[in-house]
Amino acid sequence: MSATDATTERNEFVDFWNEILVPKVVTYRYILVGGLSHHSDKIFPTLEVRPGNKVVDVGCGFGDTAIQLAQRVAPNGSVLGIDCCEAFLDFGRKDAQIRDARNVEFVEADVQT
């Protein structure tokens, strides 16, 4: 099965995220992405991720870290961003297109299943 064939087996937690939390988190996306990036800025340089690597970002949310990783592993590496919330992934796909990050793919899936 390819990454694009993955399906999300819905459970109560995935439903809760999609139905209750997604609308709230999207409203405050600018705070979350902007605020949390300060923490990532400290850790990101220490990651042993190099050009040509294949990376999986589990629980990628809006995809900002996946896109940053995609730029780091370019030109021959790739990133797979996985999240159980399609609404978050839509932001990641749009941002990846804007930033010309062609080596990142976003898939809706629940990593627990």
pLDDT tens digits, 22-68: 777 777 766 676 666 666 778 888 999 999 999 999 999 889 999 99
Nearest to 105 by CA among 113, 59, 92: 92
Least confident of 10-24, 30-44, 91-105: 30-44
Torsional sign, CA 73, 81, 102, 71: negative
pTM of the model: 0.77
Residue 75 has pLDDT above 90, yes or no: yes
